């Protein structure tokens, strides 16, 4: 019986010739990730277990991104715990204020993720790195602690959903629209503990930033991971970033899938997700005219350079609507520098937007854009749960950078083709 991409990677990790869905394995880890919220919990468990050393200081990454620069005493104390641990164990890949970025944009940029690798992170959106042909998934802080100490983790091998992509994206449609459309099709539990494996001729038409966005939100469909095949665009992205050997895995022709889904990219429209679940999707035409008070462009989902370019192209030479707060958050320091070099930051500021240092910030209701009672926001982030960005009466509409930028200009949900 053939194996999927994910199953082949897990078999290699476990030192087995083959694995099948539902099998329990112990796999070797290529990278263990934590952030300023989850790492302190892992450190507590690490110390409680009497552990005194990490398995490999080069294979652990700690990124201070959720509430940094620190917004209050509690967040400062959590970051201090991370700094002390990183110093004590000489963690190579420790990213503090000034060097950090939103973790799931930063790690690929820094060459810490590569095809065929097994990566766990104490953050649910660790599934992002499947865009590079890696198996990456979120875990709890206790699993992070064990992973830091042993370099091992237990996995139940997931079954897979084959997502066949055809055609090419039309103007103003991006990876965010693809993944929202998919979640709208199958639901927030439609891929529960399964692998979303993307294939088809449409893959070649997607830029790497689109693939990162799609895999980032695999968890919003309940998936264990999302994964793309390694092609020329993947290799071009890896060139100059990853200098260690890596292996690209392809699904066997007779691989077994739990189900298959086909998406014609050319038929997609800009898509939004209304409160309070990512599956509550509508096309921009169906949601047009809904008023908002805030627009957020950024996050591990849509804070990359392609995202900023798309938003800036719409905002350039125009003004954010009265009564609307537009917040732009480049995902890493390098993206910030690149956006500055291209004049994008000036475009945002001249339009009346506020530009932040890289941080998760408002995505989880941390800082840099928390909502008030009964306020509505359009956000390029990944979750629109009750109370996610403010009080339980606040509302979040998930959208692409293009829709978010168009909405910032009008104050209501707007088709980017209409501005």
Same domain, yes or no, for 175 and 42? yes
- Is the CB of residue 136 less than 8 Å from the CB of residue 2? no
Considering the domain architecture, whether residues 243 and 197 belong to the same structural domain is answered as yes
| CA atoms of 250 and 238, how far apart (whole Å) | 18
Please check whether residues 225 and 304 belong to one and the same domain: no
The span from the CA of 244 to the CA of 137, in Å, is 21
Domain stops at, among 242, 263, 284: 263
Round to whole Å and give the CA distance between 123 and 183: 20
Domain identity same for 14 and 115: yes
Please name which of 118, 130, 316, 95 lies closest in space to residue 212, comparing C-alpha atoms.
130
Q: What is the pLDDT of residue 100?
A: 81
Runs of H (alpha helix) within 163-282: 175-186, 208-216, 232-238
24 and 151 assigned to the same domain:
yes
Distances (CA, A) of 152 to 71, 223, 258, 328: 34, 21, 28, 38
One domain for residues 215 and 342 = no
Claim to verify: residue 202 and residue 296 sit in the same structural domain: no
Domain count, the chain: 2
Are 336 and 258 part of one and the same domain?
Answer: no
320: domain CATH number is 3.30.499.10
Q: What angle do CA 63, 67, 69 make, to 5 degrees?
A: 85
Please report the pLDDT score of residue 415 as a whole number: 96
* Distance in angstroms (rounded) separating the CA atoms of residues 60 and 198: 28
Instruction: Determine the Cα–Cα distance for residues 401 and 310; give it in Å rounded to an integer.
Output: 6
| 292, 226: one domain | no
- pLDDT confidence of residue 1: 76
User: Can you give the pLDDT at residue 197?
Assistant: 97
33 with 65: CB under 8 angstroms? no
What's the average pLDDT block by block, 10 residues per block, for the chain (419 residues)? 94 96 97 97 95 96 94 95 97 94 96 98 96 97 96 97 97 97 95 96 96 97 97 97 96 95 97 96 95 97 97 97 97 97 98 96 90 97 93 96 98 95
Domain boundary among 219, 235, 263: 263
Q: How far apart are CA 103 and CA 81, in angstroms?
A: 18
Per-residue pLDDT, 364 = 87
At residue 27, what are phi and psi to the nearest 5 degrees? -115, 150
- Cβ contact 310:177 at 8 Å: no
- The answer to whether residues 208 and 97 belong to one domain is yes
- Owning domain of residue 133: 5-263
- Asked whether residue 98 falls in the same domain as residue 191, the answer is yes
Q: Are residues 281 and 198 in the same domain?
A: no
């Amino acid at each position: 019986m053939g194996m999927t991409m994910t199953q082949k990677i897990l078999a290699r990790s476990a030192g087995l010739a083959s694995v099948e869905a539902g099998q329990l394995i112990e796999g070797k880890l290529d990278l263990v990730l934590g952030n300023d919220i989850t790492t302190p919990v892992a450190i507590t468990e690490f110390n409680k277990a009497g552990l005194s050393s990490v398995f490999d200081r080069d294979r652990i990454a700690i990124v201070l991104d959720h509430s940094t620069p620190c917004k209050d005493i509690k967040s400062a104390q959590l970051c201090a715990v991370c700094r002390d641990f990183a110093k004590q164990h000489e963690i190579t890949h420790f990213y503090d204020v000034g060097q950090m970025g939103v973790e799931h944009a930063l790690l690929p940029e820094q060459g810490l993720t590569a095809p065929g690798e097994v990566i766990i992170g104490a953050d649910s959106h660790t599934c992002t790195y499947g865009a590079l042909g890696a198996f990456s998934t979120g875990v709890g802080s206790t699993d992070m602690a064990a992973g830091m100490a042993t370099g091992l983790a237990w996995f139940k091998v997931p079954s897979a959903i084959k997502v066949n992509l055809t055609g090419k994206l039309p103007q103003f449609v991006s990876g965010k629209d693809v993944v929202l459309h998919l979640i709208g099709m199958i639901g927030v539990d439609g891929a529960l503990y399964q692998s979303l494996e993307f294939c088809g001729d449409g893959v070649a038409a997607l830029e790497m930033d689109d693939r990162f966005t799609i895999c980032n939100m695999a968890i919003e469909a309940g998936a264990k991971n999302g994964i793309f095949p390694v092609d020329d665009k993947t290799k071009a992205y890896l060139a100059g970033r990853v200098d260690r050997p890596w292996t690209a895995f392809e699904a066997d022709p007779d691989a077994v899938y739990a189900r298959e889904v086909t998406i014609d990219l050319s038929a997609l429209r800009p898509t939004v997700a209304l409160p309070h679940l990512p599956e509550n999707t509508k096309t921009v035409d169906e949601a047009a005219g809904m008023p908002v008070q805030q627009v957020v462009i950024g996050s591990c989902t849509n804070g990359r350079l392609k995202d900023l370019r798309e938003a800036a192209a719409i905002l350039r030479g125009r003004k954010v609507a009265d009564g609307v707060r537009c917040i732009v958050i480049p995902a890493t320091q390098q993206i910030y520098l690149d956006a500055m070099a291209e004049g994008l930051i000036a475009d945002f500021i001249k339009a009346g937007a506020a530009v932040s240092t890289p941080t998760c910030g408002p995505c989880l209701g941390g800082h840099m854009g928390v909502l008030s009672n009964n306020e509505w926001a359009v956000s390029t982030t990944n979750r629109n749960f009750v109370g996610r960005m403010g009080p339980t009466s606040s509302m979040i509409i998930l959208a692409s950078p293009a829709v978010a930028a168009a909405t910032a200009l009008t104050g209501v949900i707007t088709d980017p083709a209409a501005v």
